[in-house]
Structure 1
Amino acid sequence: MKKLRQPLWILRSLAVLAGGASILSCFSNRQNEGAKLYETHCSNCHGSQGEGLKRLIPPLAGADYLVQHRAELACLVRKGKQGPLLVNGVDYNQVMPPADSHLTDSQITNILNFVQTSWGNKGEIFTIREVSEQLRGCGGSDGR
């Protein structure tokens, strides 16, 4: 009997370890997704450090706009922006093109959270539910 219990205990332990490693890899694969997505879709205009481009493209680093317009940020990423906006007391009036339509609600959430927590920004983190609700409001949610 003892010989049977020992292999079962070892097999159960291995199964738990394998499951734990599998779960950890799921989280680590997405850990830096916001930074990667920002680099691919946003940094060409807003800069690798969120610095913007003089009076042409607004900064994201330390931008008061992120706090004042939180409820509009997901739609701004999905749909883009045309017309004037004020960031840190500076007027900008360039077209911001919409994000690629293949970005999911989850990916937009990750981009926004990267911006909210980078370059000294201390914004409140977005939930996927909050972003999806914002996007439904502008007809831009994909439900993913």
Structure 2
Amino acid sequence: MSRATGTRLQRGLLLAATATVAAGSLSGCFTERQNEGAKLYATHCASCHGDQGQGLQRLIPPVAASDYVAQRRADLPCLIRKGMKGPLVVNGIGYNQVMPGHEDLTDSQITNLLNFLQTNWGNRNQTYTIREVSDLLGRCNGSDGQ
């Protein structure tokens, strides 16, 4: 094998190794965030809305198969950030409890949480982008730009 061929081979192997390491690093980043929405739901929402989004009888509304989740898309980011007080109707049933806000969540975390809700437990709704959530949070002065 000529010296030039050997050098090209070494460069090719180096590039392949670098690409493999980079792909492994990227997949690690995405893997850690892959289930973030489910984890955030378990931490911040499940104690009230139930571990399967079923709600609590006529006290706390369900988020599973929820017409409210489907129809109030533009309101959901601010509802999570700021909370809610007052009556609402979900799947034809009236509720009137206080929902605490989650000021501690970043825009990105709210996006992941909402996307989890939009695509689980019978909800088959369009997912959000971070930009969309940040813009919607701007309506309630709730965007942190993260």
- Category of TM-score, reference length = shorter chain: over 0.9
**Which of 72, 77, 82 is the aligned partner of 2:75?**
72
Give, in whole Å, the separation in 2 of the partners of 1:102 and 1:60.
21
Segments of 5+ residues of structure 2 without an aligned counterpart are none
* 1:108-143 deviation digits (Å, cap 9, x = unpaired): 000000011111110111111111011011010000
The answer to whether the Cα contact below 8 Å between 2:70 and 2:123 also exists between their aligned partners in 1 is no
TM-score, normalised with respect to structure 2: 0.94
Q: In the alignment, which residue of structure 2 is the partner of 1:8?
A: 11
Question: In the alignment, which of 81, 85, 89 is matched to residue 88 of structure 2?
Answer: 85
Structure 1 partner of 2:108: 106
Identify which of 16, 21, 39 aligns with 1:18. Answer: 21
How far apart, in 2, do the equivalents of 1:106 and 1:9 lie?
38
Q: After the TM superposition, which segments of 4 or more aligned residues of structure 1 sit over 4 Å from their partners?
A: none
CA distance in 1: counterparts of 2:20 and 2:57, whole angstroms: 52
Unaligned runs of at least 5 residues, structure 1: none
2:47 aligned residue:
44
Q: Distance in 2 between matches of 1:9 and 1:88?
A: 59
Distance in structure 2 (CA, Å) of the matches to 1:38 and 1:96: 14
Normalization by structure 1: what TM-score? 0.95
Cα RMSD of the aligned pairs, angstroms, is: 1.0
Percent identical among aligned pairs is 57
Q: Distance in 2 between matches of 1:124 and 1:8?
A: 44
1:5 is displaced (CA, Å) by: 2.9
Distance 2:8 2:86 in 1: 72
Mapped to 1, the partners of 2:100 and 2:132 lie a distance apart of 22
Question: 1:87 Cα shift?
Answer: 0.4
2:34 is the alignment partner of 1:31: yes
TM-superposed deviation, 1:40: 0.3
SS of match in other structure, 1:70: coil
